[in-house]
Amino acid sequence: MPTVNHPRIEAVNDFVIRFANVNGTGSASANNMFSKAVFRMGVPVSPKNIFPSNIQGLPTWFEVRVTEKGYLGSRGDVDFVVAINGQTLKQDYETLMPGGYFLYDSTKALPRDFKRDDIFEIGIPLTQMCIDNYTNPRQRQLFKNIIYVGALAYLFNMEFEVLTGMVKDQFAKKEKLIAPNIGALELGYNYAKEHFTEVCGLRVERRDNVGDSIMIDGNSATGLGAVYGGATFAGWYPITPSTSVVEAFEKYANKFRKDEQGKNKFAILQAEDELSAMGMAIGGNWNGARSFTATSGPGLSLMSEFLGLAYFAEIPIVLIDVQRSGPSTGMPTRTQQSDVISAAYASHGDTKQVLLIPCDPAECFEMTSAAFDVADRLQTPVIVLSDLDLGMNDHVSRPLKWDDDRKYDRGKVLTAEDLDNMQERWGRYKDVDGDGIGYRTYPGTHPTKGSYFTRGSSHDDYAAYTEDSSVYEANMERLVKKWETAKDVAPRPQIKYRDKDSKVAAIFFGTSAQASYEALDGLQEEGTKINTCRIKSFPFHPDIGKFIEEHDTIFVIEQNRDAQMRTLLINEFNTGTEKLRSILNIDGMPIRARRIKRKIERMLAGENVSPFTTVNSSAQEVEA
Amino acid sequence: MSYLKSTFRHPESPKNDLGYTQANYEGALSTLCAGCGHDSISNSIINACYELSLEPHKIAKMSGIGCSSKTPAYFLSNSHGFNSVHGRMPSVTTGANMGNRDLTYIGVSGDGDTASIGMGQFMHLVRRNLNMVYIVMNNGVYGLTKGQDSATADVGSSSKKGVPNMYEPMDLCELAISLGSGYVARSFSGDKDQLVPLIKGAIKHNGFALIDVVSPCVTFNNNPQSTKSYEWVRDHKEATGTFDLVPEEQEITVQNPDQINESITLHDGTKINLHRQPDSLDITCRESVLSALEEAKQNKQVLTGLLHLNTDSNSTHDILNTCDTPLNRLTEEDLCPGSDALEALNQSLR
Ligand SMILES: Cc1ncc(C[n+]2csc(CCOP(=O)(O)OP(=O)(O)O)c2C)c(N)n1
Ligand code: SF4
Ligand SMILES: [Mg+2]
């Protein structure tokens, strides 16, 4: 091994390892095995799959953050690379931190121009080992991945039984595969042990830091939330990264929703496009069957006309928008939070839509199941605003909880009996108690009472068509009243004061939260106390306005170019242009904690820096 | 603007099996142009529902946007109605039907609403075989936006504007037949005797039923150069034959028993007895019907009546294996797996 002129990175349970693979080579399950093994050793992990819009052949990375303290956002920087992809070898080599480790397939020597003297090279002849040990080409490819996982187990001093236990769990139904997989792990383990004793300064040690947490991706939790929330119908059109929401709904519905005759207590239709998907969800909810759809940016645009109908005709809808990098097709397999404005104000005319914004899988579950109640209560669309990072990556999360006493809130719905007992004339859109919401009836309720005509054209309290300006105006104003009611129904922001007297604060939402909290913890250790407000819904609760008033400098941290949440805050509260300062990330990767921290430091020091934490858009070197 | 309709009815108006008079099936006063074909179709819908003794509140009236799509306000005021957005009635009806399979869905659309903006949704609706009646009030123009040609206008036909249409027309019946619809009919708004039984048969059919009704627009497309005018259709109409609809429980004597050459039983036991001339069309055969439609077109005829019937198909719910109870009637107990199941799931994710 060449001499290295840099101290090695040493850390216990606190490092970032990046796997560079080729899409479609079976690396994902091996990499997941590694990350789950760390989790099973009681150490929190945060895996991120960075994948191309491609089925086979293009580069893909899988980054695992091992984080004893439980910081689940992206940290930034890489301490250890497993470089299995020839196409990105150079890039992976260059971006590794000084003092880091570069594990590569040494069947072929590294090219001459790979001559960093500040990193530790760990060459393992993976391809040769596979040729020597396996005959079948597919096996040679798959076991290559397992061999490096075995080597990592040695290098990080992990409990080998945890890995063998995982193999046994994974192949419980295909026992034949257990022995060869364990064999491959041992091959890697023994090779590393023989050739790289004492090379690696990174360690995974058993802890008890995950408690009763689970590991699940946001979309699975969302699909499950729809099952628990009583959704019976989904109309949808495939689009990454939302597809797995409906797939999860289908999986869990098949598991939990069969009647005695084996028939389905749910229905799923793959629509011809997103217009149709949204139309279907509207039709189902109009009939009182909880219905939803899931999409991403391009689909949200297509649903826009229908969202206006649902808003104006007051039909509950649950729409899951798993955001990805736009505009247009953008970077379809990369994350972003860039549908904030198009979701909040979706559709033509004066419209505003209720948003629920989860930040982890447990909230995906809770907010999706709650979304059906909120939509029924408010008789309006509710958009659950998730994103690719949350939806498609596994996250360590609180376990999912359900209160068996909880009853669905179906909102204001009249039964036949209610109609018979009514003294005054019923008006579908009549606000009888000041919350801006009328009573609805489901079709088929009563032979002679309760029928009405649902329409997207102007209507009076009794759902009759009208072009009377004052009636139209009164109706539009009632919808504003309903919007006020929504502020009490939607989840409150999570506000935390690190120092009651501090005039510096940060606002963030969704998947920007984890990395932001981590950055602010780091600043706090250095004496800077920044209060935080995590937005969980739109319309904004008045507490958010108060929070803005209380502070002089407020960093609004989000993952889009145009500072959409900041714009929304300024627009809704009519304040803050001066003190709301953006920190933005638009490279399609989850926002990194180290970069947020450094950016805030520089801004607080009075430097005139760009809001972007990403390389190109800041036109500045990105510091750690 | 809203019109009030006289509520006076003769006390001895005839009643149907449910004890309802025809008035129980009426709607608000129409605001369409006097003489518009669409109003006659509304009346035929009223007649059909009355004669079938359907509970009005168990019917859902669905539509898109257009003069035609306004008509659900003018029939069945005890039914819920949904005037959705332009061209998207199919998806809304699909969702509604998924949510409650027990209602009768009567969808009304225009030729613009269906054959242009809504073509995609229409075709997918047909291929899913959603259990519904789909009535196209086909006038060959966009009435509500003042007379532009629609995609069903025949080549050479011109509206009041006087410019002949040069584009190939869409034949919605041919499309529906080739996409597997089991009940396809064409009729004329002015021929109530033909239309009412066609609507009744469509309601009884399990699966998607299309009735394309030529329905002249008196304001923009009723001139002699138009092939969707009253005059032209009356002169060029040919019928495939007539039929009787015999409800399961009823053994009625048919008018012309000699002429029955086929009797087809529908899903719920209702029988359709077809009467035709010996040399006329076999409507159970897709291929013959499609070529008959083409032939009629070449002869400048409008072939009307029941064009195709196939009772042997699965509707969307059959395909999806949905439970018999309408989904909107399921409660927490049916739907929520509960905390124990969730805890078991948590355990599997550790
Ligand atoms: C998205 C959208 N585009 C355009 C319109 C305008 N528009 C209303 S009705 C109509 C055409 C209706 O034609 P048809 O369906 O044939 O109905 P008719 O009025 O002839 O009965 C159009 C283009 C609309 N309402 N929505
Ligand atoms: S414009 Fe034509 S289609 Fe519309 S109501 Fe008048 S006659 Fe009927
Ligand atoms: Mg028309």
Q: What is the pLDDT of residue A617?
A: 44
Query: What end-to-end distance do the CA atoms of chain A give, in Å?
Result: 28
Do residues A553 and A581 touch, judged by C-beta distance below 8 A?
A: yes
Burial class (CB in 10 A: 0-12, 13-18, 19+), B325: middle
What mean pLDDT comes out for the span B152-178? 96
Provide the 10 A C-beta neighbour count for residue A434.
Answer: 8
Average pLDDT rounded to a whole number, residues B100-119: 98
What pLDDT, on the 0 to 100 scale, is given for residue B280?
75
Mean pLDDT of A371-399: 98
With respect to residue B265, please indicate whether it lies within any of the assigned structural domains. no
How large is the average pLDDT for residues B113-138? 98
Q: At B8, is the pLDDT very low, low, confident or very high (cuts 50, 70, 90)?
A: low
Averaged pLDDT for residues A182-206:
97
pLDDT for B240 equals 87
pLDDT, residue B264, reads 84
Q: Which residue's CA is minimally distant from atom 26 of ligand 1?
A: B86
Position B246 scores a pLDDT of 81
Confidence bin at B248 (pLDDT 50/70/90): confident
Interchain proximity A289–B100, CB inside 8 Å: yes
Residue B341 lies in a domain: no
Whole-number mean pLDDT of chain B?
92
pLDDT of residue A616: 52
* Beta-sheet pairing, B260-265 with B237-239: unpaired
Percent of chain B's residues with pLDDT above 70 = 92
pLDDT band at B275 (very low <50, low <70, confident <90, very high): confident
When CB atoms are compared, the residue of A232, A441, A442 closest to B330 is: A232
pLDDT, average across residues A556-575:
97
Is the Cα torsion angle A283, A285, A286, A289 positive or negative in sign? positive
Q: For the segment A427-481, what is each residue's pLDDT rounded down to a tens digit?
A: 999 999 999 999 999 999 999 999 999 999 999 999 999 999 999 999 999 999 9
pLDDT of residue A131: 95
For residues A211-230, average pLDDT: 98
B1 confidence band (pLDDT: 50, 70, 90): very low
Alpha carbon of B341 to ligand 2 centroid (Å) = 58
Flag whether B233 is in a domain: yes
pLDDT in tens, A287-299: 999 999 999 999 9
Whether B276 is in a domain gets the answer no
Sequence-separated (6 or more) residues with CB below 8 Å from residue A598:
A623, A624
CA contacts within 13 A on the Cβ side of B81: 24
Q: For A599-623, what is the mean pLDDT?
A: 77
Residue B217 CA to ligand 2 centre (angstroms): 5
Per-residue model confidence as pLDDT tens digits over A169-178: 989 999 999 9
Q: How many folded domains does chain B comprise? A: 1
Q: Which A residues 125-184 touch B at CB under 8 Å?
A: none
Indicate which ligand has the atom closest to the C-alpha of B31. Answer: 2
Mean pLDDT of chain A: 95
Residue A352 is predicted with a pLDDT of 98
Residues 367-426 of A with CB under 8 A from B: 399-404, 407-408
Question: How do residues A77-104 score in pLDDT, each as one tens digit?
Answer: 999 999 999 999 999 999 999 999 999 9
Of the pLDDT bands very low, low, confident and very high (cuts 50, 70, 90), residue A623 is very low
Half-sphere exposure of A589 (CA within 13 A, CB side): 22
pLDDT at B339: 98
Answer yes or no: is B248 within a domain. no
The per-residue pLDDT for B249 is: 62
Q: Please report the pLDDT score of residue A23 as a whole number.
A: 86
- Best residue among B30, B32, B33, B65 to mutate for probing ligand 1, ranked by most atoms within 8 Å of CB: B65
Which protein residues touch ligand 2 with a CB less than 6 Å away?
B 32-33, 36, 38, 67, 139, 143-144, 217-220
> Is pLDDT of A353 > 50?
yes
Whole-number Å distance, alpha carbon B66 to ligand 3 midpoint, is 7
Q: A444–B99: do the CB atoms touch at under 8 Å?
A: no
Domain that holds residue B94: 22-240+281-320
A/B interface, count of CB pairs below 8 Å: 230
Token digits of residue A214 = 């689970």
Sketch out chain A's domains with CATH numbers: 11-203 (3.40.920.10), 215-397 (3.40.50.970), 416-489 (no CATH), 494-604 (3.40.50.920)
Q: Is A37 on the interface with B (CB under 8 A)?
A: no
Nearest ligand (C-alpha, residue B37): 2
Q: Which of A338-342, A352-356, A474-478, B307-311 has the lowest mean pLDDT?
A: B307-311
- pTM exceeding 0.90: yes
- The CATH number assigned to the domain holding B82 equals 3.40.50.970
A219 touches B: beta carbon within 8 Å? no
What tens digit of pLDDT does each residue of A21-49 get? 998 888 998 999 999 999 999 999 999 99
Which ligand is located closest to the Cα atom of residue B119? Answer: 1
pLDDT at A134: 93
pLDDT classification of A1: cutoffs 50, 70, 90: low
For residue B130, count CB atoms less than 10 angstroms from its CB and return exposed for 0-12, middle for 13-18, buried for 19 or more. buried
**Residue A263 scores a pLDDT above 70:** yes
Mean pLDDT score, B308-314: 92
Query: Can you give the pLDDT at residue B266?
Result: 84
Residue ranges in chain B assigned as alpha helix (H) = 37-51, 67-70, 89-99, 111-115, 119-128, 172-178, 192-204, 230-236, 286-298, 316-320, 332-335, 338-348
Mean pLDDT to the nearest integer, B286-297: 93
DSSP H or E segment with residue A60: strand A59-67
A236 beta partners = A270
Position A400 pLDDT exceeds 60: yes
CB atoms within 10 A of CB A474: 14
Q: Is the pLDDT of residue B253 over 60?
A: no
Asked if residue B137 belongs to a domain, the reply is yes
Residue B12 lies in a domain: no
The pLDDT of residue B7 is above 90: no
Residues on chain A touching B98 (C-beta within 8 angstroms) = 233, 235, 267, 269, 280, 283-284, 289, 291
Report pLDDT for B73: 97
Residue with CA nearest ligand 2 atom 8: B36
Chain B: closest CA distance from residue A495 (Å): 29
Question: Does some domain include residue B316?
Answer: yes
Residues 431 to 450 of A: which have CB under 8 A from any B CB? 441-448, 450
Query: Residue A618: pLDDT above 90?
Result: no
Which among B96, B327, B339 has CB closest to A402?
Answer: B339
